[in-house]
Structure formats: C-alpha cells, structure tokens
Amino acid sequence: MSIPDTAARAEQLHRLHLGERPLVLVNAWDAGSARVLEAAGCPVIATSSAAMAWSLGYQDGESLPAEDLFDTCVRILRVIRVPLTVDFERGFASSADAVAGHAQRLIELGAVGINIEDGQEAGALVALDHACERIAAARRAAQRCGVRLFINARTDAYFLAAEPPGGRFETALARARQFIEAGADGIFVPGMDRIEDVGRFARAIDRPFNVYAGYPGVPPVDALATAGARRVSLGCGPLQSAFGLLGRVADEALHRGRTEAMCAGMMSASQLNKLFA
C-alpha cells in the first residue's frame, strides 16, 4: 500500500472516533476472521494480540515472534479495504528505538493504528518513563512516515491484584496523562468496567477512552457511550467464543455422534468463497 493511501486510512480511523456512537471493534486474529468481520460491517479491523498468538500456537504476552505478527498483518491487509489497527503489546522489542522500527514497519505495510501497553514485570507496572519512551518512539516513527498513526495507549493498572480499586483508578489516570504527553491519541484501561469509573475517567482525559468488553458483565455499548466511552473493544473474546464453539462441535461429534452445534449458523462454502473473490 502506498504511503498516501495509508495516510488517508489513518485520517479515516481518527474520524471514526468522533462519531455519534463509539467505535466498536470486534477483534480479528487472521485474514479469514478479518474478512468475515469486514463483510459483517466492521468499519475498522483491529487485531487482538492474545487471539493472534493462540491461533498460531503461542501463549499471550509477546511469545509470538514479531515476524509472525508482521506476516499475519500482511495477510489481513491483502483481503480488507478498511483501516487496520494492530495490537502491538509492548512493541515486540526491548528498546524504544527497536519499537520505533517495528512501528515504522507496520505503517509501511499499511497499518494505521496500534495498541501499545505498559504491562507488568514482577507484579508491578513497567516503569512509567519506559512506557512513555515507547509511545514517543512510535509517534516519531509515524511522523517520519508522514502518517498520523492512531496510538491507543493501554495501561494494565486494573490488573494489579494487590492494589484496591480506588488506587487502580488513580494510577491509571496518572499514567494516561503521561501517555498523552508522550503522544497517545487514545487511552485504553482494560478491566475498568464500572459505569461510574468509566464516566469519571472519560471526563478526566481529553482523548478518546477505550473500554474492554470481551468478558461477561461489562455494561452494554449504549451505557458505556452515555458514560463517555468513545471506543469499545472485544479483544480476544471473539476467538475465545469461536474456540469454545469448536470444542462443543468436537464434543458433540465424538461423544453424541451428532453435528447440530456445527451446523447451526454456519456459513456456506459459497458465502466464504465470495468473501475472498
């Protein structure tokens, strides 16, 4: 894809965060899932790093080789026409310069957005200055390319088991403000799902706020929108659901000799072939 085309898709992704309703991302993990989601009406394809890793036989947490990430993005970009934003974990690199190189490579392939996270080491969040350096490095790489990459900065503050919820909120907010200073376009706090917290957080930052809705009990999109969320991600939830169905299909065929679970709602071979024409 040419840089002008990529730049145009990047601007499209930015505009989609400004609509009347939040941008809802049903996350993909490979070319097939991406194309099905595009055909279903998704205006953006977002990958899930966990789903991509599991689909390729790796654990979550940057166990997936970076080359496999890039190769999967190439395959996705071959079959879609909407913007692609990539779950980038911590940049698949140990240094800010290497993160910048990986971000530039994604842009050159045609990706127009990334999720980049702080994560944890030894039960504590990664040092704030290191997380900000990675965000700033990705921003510099995008500027060199002339593409307004949408950087969605994630903090795992709500995954700190030892910290009470109030402390998690304040930690997430303090980090979010520093991430914005470093060049983030949006903020993502997985685990924050109380409407009161979502509303208070969305009002406290001047960037689109992303809520994770890939597990039971998260309020519906309309309620999250009313609270101020501008982006809602399903993350690895779609793959977990698909793999759960696959397990039920196998169990039913092996132990009951039946195929109802498989046949209910399945796409036809003709439908799938048309998707990839």
pLDDT in single tens digits along all 277 residues of the chain: 798 899 999 999 999 999 999 999 999 999 999 999 999 999 999 999 999 999 999 999 999 999 999 999 999 999 999 999 999 999 999 999 999 999 999 999 999 999 999 998 878 899 999 999 999 999 999 999 999 999 999 999 999 877 777 799 999 999 999 999 999 999 999 999 999 999 999 999 999 999 999 999 999 999 999 999 999 999 999 999 999 999 999 999 999 999 999 999 999 999 999 999 9
Residue 135 backbone dihedrals phi, psi, to 5 degrees: -65, -45
Residues 212, 224: Cα–Cα separation, whole Å:
10
Residues 216, 59: Cα–Cα separation, whole Å:
22
pLDDT score, position 163: 76
Q: Which residues pair with 152 in a beta bridge?
A: 115, 186
Residue 220 backbone dihedrals phi, psi, to 5 degrees: -65, 165
**The domain defined by 3-238 carries CATH number 3.20.20.60:** yes
Q: Which residues pair with 151 in a beta bridge?
A: 114
Per-domain boundaries in the chain: 3-238
Instruction: Name which of 134, 30, 137, 140 is nearest 89 in CA terms.
Output: 134
Instruction: State the sign of the Cα–Cα–Cα–Cα dihedral 49, 55, 61, 67.
Output: negative
pLDDT score, position 84: 98
- 166-182 pLDDT tens trace: 799 999 999 999 999 99
Tokens 């088991």 found at: 161
pLDDT score, position 123: 80
Q: Hey, how many other C-beta atoms are within 10 angstroms of the C-beta on 254?
A: 8
Query: Parallel, antiparallel, or unpaired for β 124-125 and 113-117?
Result: unpaired
Cα-to-chain-centroid distance, residue 30: 13
Residues 91, 188: Cα–Cα separation, whole Å:
16
Cβ 211 vs Cβ 229: under 8 Å? yes
Q: Which residues pair with 24 in a beta bridge?
A: 232
Residues 172, 158: Cα–Cα separation, whole Å:
8
> Whole-model pTM?
0.96
